A and B are shown apart, each in its own frame.
Chain A
């Protein structure tokens, strides 16, 4: 199966600042690729290049087989984009916002109310967006990205700073879209979201992709295979780290007899692995 998104050696600079520096990757249909990196790492600029908002200084982008340099119109008609900024028309209702974009896409038969129901905004469809909460606006952004039933979704920090209800609704929508074969590129600096939603993860820092792999492989390759056991001996609490090697069974067995309080795996977090590659954390 050919890739839905192909980025090849992308380079883009804002003046002297190289924001994207030789980025290459592919996303297959039905796959969610998470772009994990701190603010200013180059995630949003990469999305702008992939969606045709920016032209790269060098490199090539193909979306759904269309070269973005020459066939941008064809690609854009089949993509959905959820921007980091809540760029909605505040003076218009959710329904009016979606109707307007449906006209731009040339869609004559689109179930706007159905789409709004899907993101939990059906009851407020006629209200002006200016009266919406941050979470509601983000859900409307998601609905707008899905309006043209896209084959490729670009989602830039879609759950950033949202309440759990809104985050859950958006994550459910992402999983559903991937389930119907949509290629999803998701940028985030939330490692839990990246871990939960992504089939593969790309760590990006200073405009460069540091590594691309599945979350599981990253954790296995770069984490410690050990468990941390807290147990009570008399009046004292002891903490023991047991490496999961050949002797792990024997050592675990030796402390089972004591009063075990907690046992935690010492699997590396994505944050740990990112720090290992980038030399800095995701929130820095």
Chain B
């Protein structure tokens, strides 16, 4: 073993002991891992796209046979309008309903204007309400055998990217990148605290009058931070099955993420402040870094400026690989940007720590 590596490994070993002796971070890490994993598995693992539709009036005897066979609609018959309204209001059996008047058949057959109530709960999207209204017209035409005033268009739907219709990503799956990145970010606080304590207690001075060099000290902190963050991220990703379908690519992204947060941890730790100061400073970095992870939960909500946040390429890479089966070629550009951010933040972190140590 070379002398340099002997020194670096000794400092890393000492820091790992210090990390395990810090009750706060040990408990936070343990609880965090258990919480993230438990939370993940408690979330629904599938998306139910079927609309539960209640029907009352004469149409229920027909049970809307053709309609109920169509994709995504399950029809439940109710004997009266009032029972249908009560059911929609409760929302447990059906989320919307169609109340046909008793004279519906006669009115339609006679060409009279029929009045059908579309009953929806307040939480039902506007699009569903419009679709149901349209459906009533279709049913009427089907009953009387009248053709539509125009030929049915031969429209072809073209979906750019992955068409997830009928195969929507469940919330649990959407949480994968959020949890992976979250555990990386939280680990920043542990590294910051270890570094700050070393500065505050001036133990680094004792280290640097041995054969250990400042470079050894800086390298050991960078390796320690990366090791802590990466190990926990991999642990979480394995536990929530987020290492498929491309484990090598996902592990690479996690490793780069660990380097990224290590840079942030070194910057925050260089302050040499007490626990509260480090916590406040750490959170000032972490909150902006969390924005992209939250934005991916709500597709289409990310503003352009979000893409400038260092954690954006990390988050989107994990999302695209784990949810859309993206490959190396698909995410190469983002990985390149991520590497760039890693270099920038790690360099700033090391320079900040170096400067602080030299001015002690």
A residues at B contact (CB < 8 Å):
51-53, 73, 76-77, 79, 81, 83, 85, 87-92, 96, 100-101, 103-106, 128, 144, 148
With A103-B6, A104-B7, A106-B3 as given contacts, are A89 and B14 in contact (CB-CB < 8 Å)? yes
Partner of B18, one of A51, A77, A87, A91: A91
- Bound-state CA distance A113–B17 (Å) is 20
- Bound-state CA distance A52–B14 (Å) is 23
Contacts of A100 in B (CB 8 A): 10, 13-14
Q: Is the CB of B202 within 8 A of A92?
A: no
Q: Is the CB of B206 within 8 A of A83?
A: yes
Instruction: Rank and list the top 10 A-B pairs by shortest CB-CB distance, nearest first.
Output: A103-B10, A91-B21, A104-B210, A87-B202, A87-B203, A100-B14, A85-B202, A81-B209, A87-B206, A104-B212
* Interface contacts beyond A73-B213, A89-B203: sample of 10 additional A-B pairs, CB < 8 Å, sorted by A: A76-B210, A76-B211, A83-B205, A85-B201, A87-B202, A88-B206, A100-B13, A101-B206, A128-B21, A144-B206
Question: Nearest-CB distance from A46 to chain B (Å)?
Answer: 15
In the complex, the chain B residue whose C-beta lies closest to that of A14 is B359
Contacts of A106 in B (CB 8 A): 3, 6, 211
Does B332 make an interface contact (CB < 8 A)?
no
Q: Is the CB of A87 within 8 A of B205?
A: yes
Does B22 make an interface contact (CB < 8 A)?
yes
Interface members, chain B 3-53 (any A CB < 8 Å): 3, 6-7, 10-11, 13-14, 17-18, 21-22
In the complex, the chain B residue whose C-beta lies closest to that of A105 is B210
- Bound-state CA distance A53–B13 (Å) is 24
Partner of B17, one of A92, A101, A105, A144: A92
Q: Is the CB of B206 within 8 A of A90?
A: no
Does B208 make an interface contact (CB < 8 A)?
yes
In the complex, the chain B residue whose C-beta lies closest to that of A91 is B21
Contacts of B7 in A (CB 8 A): 103-104
Does B76 make an interface contact (CB < 8 A)?
no
- Bound-state CA distance A81–B202 (Å) is 13
Contacts of B210 in A (CB 8 A): 76-77, 101, 104-105, 148
Q: What 0/1 pattern do residues 122 to 156 of B give for CB contact below 8 A with A?
A: 00000000000000000000000000000000000
Does B207 make an interface contact (CB < 8 A)?
yes
**Can you list 10 residue pairs at the A/B interface with Cβ under 8 Å?**
A77-B211, A81-B209, A83-B206, A87-B203, A90-B201, A91-B17, A92-B21, A100-B13, A104-B210, A128-B21
Question: Nearest-CB distance from B213 to chain A (Å)?
Answer: 8
In the complex, the chain A residue whose C-beta lies closest to that of B19 is A91
With A92-B17, A92-B18 as given contacts, are A104 and B211 in contact (CB-CB < 8 Å)? yes
In the complex, the chain B residue whose C-beta lies closest to that of A103 is B10
- Bound-state CA distance A73–B4 (Å) is 12
With A76-B210, A88-B203 as given contacts, are A104 and B17 in contact (CB-CB < 8 Å)? no
Q: Is the CB of A92 within 8 A of B14?
A: yes
Question: Nearest-CB distance from A100 to chain B (Å)?
Answer: 5
Task: Classify the interface of chain B: helix, strand, loop or mixed.
Answer: helix
Q: Is the CB of B209 within 8 A of A51?
A: yes
Contacts of B202 in A (CB 8 A): 83, 85, 87
Question: Nearest-CB distance from A49 to chain B (Å)?
Answer: 12
Residue of A90, A100, A128 contacting most chain B CB atoms (<10 Å): A100
In the complex, the chain A residue whose C-beta lies closest to that of B360 is A53
Contacts of B10 in A (CB 8 A): 100, 103-104
Contacts of A88 in B (CB 8 A): 201, 203, 206
Question: Nearest-CB distance from A63 to chain B (Å)?
Answer: 11
Question: Nearest-CB distance from A118 to chain B (Å)?
Answer: 19
Q: Is the CB of B22 within 8 A of A91?
A: yes
Contacts of A148 in B (CB 8 A): 210
With A85-B202, A89-B203, A100-B10 as given contacts, are A52 and B211 in contact (CB-CB < 8 Å)? no
- Bound-state CA distance A100–B220 (Å) is 14
Q: Is the CB of B206 within 8 A of A96?
A: no
- Bound-state CA distance A83–B206 (Å) is 8
Interface members, chain B 205-263 (any A CB < 8 Å): 205-213
- Bound-state CA distance A170–B205 (Å) is 21
- Bound-state CA distance A105–B205 (Å) is 15
Q: Is the CB of A96 within 8 A of B209?
A: no
Residue of B10, B11, B18 contacting most chain A CB atoms (<10 Å): B10
Residue of B3, B10, B205, B209 contacting most chain A CB atoms (<10 Å): B209
Contacts of A87 in B (CB 8 A): 201-203, 205-206
Q: Is the CB of A76 within 8 A of B209?
A: yes
- Bound-state CA distance A87–B21 (Å) is 18
Q: Is the CB of A73 within 8 A of B211?
A: yes
Question: Nearest-CB distance from A144 to chain B (Å)?
Answer: 7
Question: Nearest-CB distance from B92 to chain A (Å)?
Answer: 54
With A92-B21, A106-B6 as given contacts, are A79 and B209 in contact (CB-CB < 8 Å)? yes
In the complex, the chain A residue whose C-beta lies closest to that of B23 is A91
Question: Nearest-CB distance from A169 to chain B (Å)?
Answer: 20
Question: Nearest-CB distance from A258 to chain B (Å)?
Answer: 60
With A90-B201, A103-B10 as given contacts, are A53 and B208 in contact (CB-CB < 8 Å)? yes
In the complex, the chain B residue whose C-beta lies closest to that of A89 is B203
Contacts of B6 in A (CB 8 A): 103, 106
Contacts of A52 in B (CB 8 A): 209
- Bound-state CA distance A91–B194 (Å) is 11
Contacts of B205 in A (CB 8 A): 53, 83, 85, 87
In the complex, the chain B residue whose C-beta lies closest to that of A75 is B209
Question: Nearest-CB distance from B236 to chain A (Å)?
Answer: 26
- Bound-state CA distance A89–B203 (Å) is 7
